[in-house]
Amino acid sequence: MDHRRFLQHFVGSERLLTGYLLAATGNPHEAEDLLQEVSVALWEGFDRFDEKRSFSAWALGIARHKVIDWRGRRGRREAVLDLDILDVVGRTALGESELLAERRSALHRCIDALPEHLREMVGLRYRDGLPLEDLAARIRRNVGAIQMALVRVRRSLRECVDRRLTQASEAGR
């Protein structure tokens, strides 16, 4: 099989898959583990992949099967989204993949521009993987306040991304 072509496809779809699996599991660690399973399944099935089709769509289909298997293995777990909602999420992500790629590039600059205390908090959440409860204990605030603070950080990042994309768009005119 063609390693290179596979990896070209895979790299292009990895974010999409990770996001989908995160939506499916509601747990970043589970999502990472599932991503490993999906990547192996994709590789094993790559011979059957028709390159006239969308790799991302094909990969999402396989990821969907893996999610079903995973849910079966773990038994019924209620605190995850239904499969029909996941399908909508997957389709939407596929449709927005170009926009999401543009946003990511701006997002990293916006993260770097966060005030230090917010950057530290986001770092504890994403670098150290602290659950909200542990994060709250670490910085001595209640969970609700932490959640709201993270929501605000995310909103400010979005505004920053929107602003940068708008500026880039205007500069390109």
Partner 1 sequence: MNDEFDLLVEAYLAGSAGEADARRLEELLRNDPAAVETFVRALDEDVALRKHFSFDPEGAEPRPAARRPSPLSSARPIPSLWGPLIAGATLFMALLLWVAVSDPKPQGQARRPERGRDDQEQVRQRPTEIEPERRAPVEAPPSPKEKPDVPREDERRRIERELQEAAKAAPKAEPSREPAPPRPPPPPREPAGTVAAETTRTDVAPIGVDRIEGQAVVAGKTPATAGMRLGPGQDFETVGARSSATLSFADGTLIDLAGDSLIREIADPAAARGKRLTLARGTLLARVVRQNAGPMTIVTPHGDARVLGTTFRIVVDSASTRLEVVEGKVQLKRRDGKSVDVSAGHGAVAGAGIELVSRPLPIEEIVLLPDQARVSGNEWKLVKDPAAASGVAMEAAETAYKLKKSGGDTLTYDSVRNRTAYVFFTFMADANRDYHVWIRGRSMATTDRKFHDEVAIEPLNGQLSQKCRQLGGTGDNAYCYTGWCLYPAYGWLGGYGEDGASDAVPLSIRFSRPGLQTLKLYAIETPMRIDAIWLSSTQGARPAAEQRPPLREGK
Q: Which of 40, 68, 113, 145 binds partner 1 (CB under 8 A)?
A: 40
| Comparison of 11 and 171: residue with beta carbon closer to partner 1 | 11
User: Radius of gyration over alpha carbons of the chain, in Å?
Assistant: 18
List the alpha helices (DSSP H) in the chain: 3-25, 28-45, 55-74, 83-95, 97-112, 116-126, 132-138, 143-171
DSSP category for residue 79:
S
| Comparison of 68 and 151: residue with beta carbon closer to partner 1 | 151
Q: Which of 71, 118, 132, 156 binds partner 1 (CB under 8 A)?
A: 132
Binding flags for partner 1, 62-101, as an x/- string (CB under 8 A): ----------------xxxxx--x--xx--xx--xxx-xx
Q: Which of 36, 166, 167, 169 binds partner 1 (CB under 8 A)?
A: 36
CB of 165 to partner 1, least distance (A): 12
> Terminus-to-terminus CA distance in the chain, angstroms?
44
Tokens of 126: 């994403």
CB of 72 to partner 1, least distance (A): 18
Alpha carbon 60 to its chain centroid, in Å, reads: 13
